Every structure is written in structure tokens, then in C-alpha cells.
């Protein structure tokens, strides 16, 4: 039998599939106006995992992060501090606390602009991925709240259901870029058509992997790099990302933070005044 001919005007060439597009989102100061690593300190204290002093130190570190951000070296120091803190904790208990505290701690801190942008990408058929240096046990409840199925985050070593204090995978800087390239290969993402969003200069390697990099609430180095390279800049302001007056839920730790800062300031002034007085005595 002779091969069947294609009727005139009919094209039997298989359609070219549309490129698969991804939108990669950093978490802290990009999706949420806080630090996911520090946000649960009060809840860990109330559940007996840390002392009031530990919770206060976490709150102070969070306040510093919100005002001045974190350098690469500071991120490493924070990682070491937190992994030492959680050594021996039950993974299930941490997951339970994070999930139960979501609506009181994290949900109010989610930027409305980020929610809208995530919804836009999902409606466009794009895969949305959170890629964060925070531990996966803290990131996954936030992703679930936002209807995001894929998370790439720092993985802490677990033995017999408890954290050991070691890190299996640190999702920071170049590691984020490597993770994006690996996902592009395994999921067939067209990175030239994909998007990435972050505030921090440590994520420049990640944003450089996509055709649509966006600097959100950028720190100084990220803003300079974005302007130099023609990247889009966006400002998310709802909720306001910097320090605000504590509400009723935050008064316990918030008051302690204010008191500690005041005490440290007063102590510094007293030492300075005493030093000047002693200098005057010696010069008399």
C-alpha cells in the first residue's frame, strides 16, 4: 500500500511544546517581611525548647537583620548559631510548632505584593519555587500557606528523628544557582524565560541564571548590581518591612528587646562618662 499523502494545506508536524517556565523566590525580605530563621523564637521558648535569654538573643538578631541585613559572613555565623541551638531537638516537634504558629507569626508578615505576584505566576502556568537559606522545616509551612509545592532550602542532618546540629545542604549563594540549574535539567525549565526574585546580594548568582531577574527590596550591593545590569527593581511595602511597635502577640519579647537595648545603651553611656571622668582625674 502506498503511503498516505498529507492532504494539501494540512500540517502534520507535531506542535513544538511551549517552554516550561519557573519563578524562583527567595523567602526572607522577598516574600515575608521578617526572618523565617528568627521568627519562631517566642514559640520555641513557650514550648520549652529554648530559654528566655535564647529567645531574646534571637529577637535582637532579628531586629538587627531587619535594619541592616546580613552579609555572607553574618549568614554563616547565624547558621552556626542556629544549628548549635537546635541540636537534639525533635524534628516532628519543630514542624508542629512552626505549623501551629504560622498564622500568628508569619502570615501577617507576608507581603501582599508577593502574594499577588505568586498568584500571577501560578495563573500563567509557571512553576513557583521557594529557594531559601532557612531550614526546610521552617520554609515548608510557609510554602503550604502560599499554595507552593516546591521548596529548595537548607537541609539539617537528622538522626533518629532529631537534629544533630550538622548541615547536609546549605542553600546559600552559589548553592542556590546550582540548585536552579539542576532543577532546570530535571524539570525541563527554560531558564531564559524564567524569573527569579531576591533582596540580597548573596543571591546574585541565583538571579544571574534566569532571563528575568528581579531585585525586590534590594540591599545596597544588590541594588547597585541590578542598576548596572539593567535588572528590574521592585519595592514591596505591605506590610512595612522595618521595625514597628509590637502588638499584643509580640509584647513579651518586644518589651524585652526594648529594655535590653535601653540597658545596653545606658551602660555604654555610663562607661563612656566614667572613662572621661577618670581621664580628667588623671590629667588633674
Instruction: Kindly state the cell numbers that stand for 281.
Output: 582625674
DSSP annotation of 9: T
| pLDDT for residue 16 is more than 60 | no
Residues in contact with 62: Cβ distance below 8 Å, sequence separation at least 6, in sequence order: 34, 35, 38, 39, 41
Instruction: Kindly state the cell numbers that stand for 149.
Output: 509545592
Instruction: Kindly state the cell numbers that stand for 55.
Output: 529567645
C-alpha 175/C-alpha 133 separation (Å) is 10
Q: For 156-173, what is each residue's pLDDT tens digit?
A: 899 999 999 898 998 988
Q: Label residue 243 by pLDDT band (50, 70, 90).
A: very low
Query: For residues 25 and 99, which has the higher predicted lDDT (pLDDT)?
Result: 25
Query: For residues 226 and 97, which has the higher predicted lDDT (pLDDT)?
Result: 226
Q: For 188-211, what is each residue's pLDDT tens digit?
A: 999 999 999 999 999 999 999 999
> Residue 207 to residues 172, 222, 271: CA-CA distances in angstroms?
13, 10, 46
Instruction: Kindly state the cell numbers that stand for 209.
Output: 541564571
Radius of gyration in angstroms for the set of CA atoms belonging to the chain, rounded to a whole number: 24
Phi, psi of 90 (to 5 degrees): -75, 130
Q: What pLDDT does 83 receive?
A: 73
Domains of the chain in start order, with CATH, are 22-240+250-263 (3.40.50.1000)
Please give the distance of CA 165 from its chain centroid, rounded to a whole number: 20
Q: For 40-99, what is each residue's pLDDT tens digit?
A: 777 777 777 666 666 555 555 545 544 445 555 555 556 566 776 778 888 898 888 888
C-alpha 207/C-alpha 194 separation (Å) is 10
Q: What is the mean pLDDT of the chain?
A: 76
Q: What pLDDT does 269 receive?
A: 35
C-alpha 185/C-alpha 241 separation (Å) is 35
Active site members: 26, 28
Q: What pLDDT does 207 receive?
A: 98
| pLDDT for residue 136 is more than 80 | yes
Residues in contact with 85: Cβ distance below 8 Å, sequence separation at least 6, in sequence order: 50, 54
Task: Report the percent of the chain where pLDDT is more than 90.
Answer: 43
SS3 assignment, position 47:
coil
Q: What pLDDT does 241 receive?
A: 46
Q: Mean per-residue pLDDT for 115-123?
A: 96
| pLDDT for residue 182 is more than 70 | yes
228, 56 contact by CB (below 8 A): no
Nearest to 202 by CA among 117, 118, 133: 133
Amino acid at each position: 500500500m502506498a503511503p498516505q499523502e498529507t492532504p494539501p494545506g494540512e500540517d502534520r508536524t507535531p506542535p513544538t511544546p511551549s517552554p516550561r517556565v519557573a519563578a524562583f523566590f527567595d523567602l526572607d525580605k522577598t516574600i515575608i517581611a521578617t526572618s523565617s530563621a528568627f521568627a519562631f523564637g517566642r514559640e520555641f521558648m513557650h514550648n520549652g525548647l529554648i530559654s528566655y535569654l535564647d529567645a531574646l538573643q534571637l529577637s535582637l538578631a532579628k531586629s538587627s537583620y531587619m535594619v541592616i541585613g546580613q552579609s555572607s559572613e553574618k549568614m554563616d555565623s547565624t547558621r552556626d548559631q542556629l544549628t548549635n541551638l537546635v541540636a537534639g531537638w525533635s524534628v516532628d516537634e519543630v514542624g508542629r510548632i512552626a505549623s501551629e504558629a504560622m498564622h500568628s507569626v508569619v502570615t501577617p508578615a507576608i507581603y501582599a505584593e508577593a502574594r499577588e505576584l505568586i498568584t500571577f505566576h501560578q495563573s500563567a502556568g509557571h512553576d513557583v519555587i521557594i529557594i531559601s537559606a532557612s531550614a526546610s522545616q521552617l520554609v515548608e509551612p510557609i510554602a503550604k500557606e502560599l499554595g507552593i509545592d516546591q521548596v529548595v532550602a537548607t537541609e539539617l542532618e537528622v538522626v533518629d528523628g532529631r537534629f544533630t546540629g550538622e548541615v547536609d545542604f546549605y542553600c546559600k549563594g552559589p548553592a542556590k544557582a546550582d540548585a536552579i540549574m539542576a532543577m532546570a535539567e530535571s524539570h525541563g525549565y527554560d531558564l531564559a524565560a524564567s524569573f527569579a526574585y531576591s533582596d540580597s546580594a548573596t543571591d546574585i548568582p541565583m538571579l544571574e541564571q534566569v532571563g528575568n531577574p528581579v531585585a525586590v527590596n534590594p540591599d545596597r550591593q544588590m541594588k547597585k548590581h541590578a542598576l548596572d545590569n539593567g535588572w528590574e527593581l521592585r519595592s514591596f511595602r505591605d506590610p512595612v518591612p522595618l521595625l514597628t511597635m509590637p502588638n499584643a502577640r509580640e509584647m513579651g519579647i518586644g518589651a524585652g528587646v526594648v529594655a535590653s537595648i535601653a540597658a545596653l545603651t545606658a551602660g555604654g553611656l555610663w562607661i563612656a562618662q566614667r572613662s572621661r571622668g577618670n581621664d580628667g582625674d588623671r590629667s588633674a
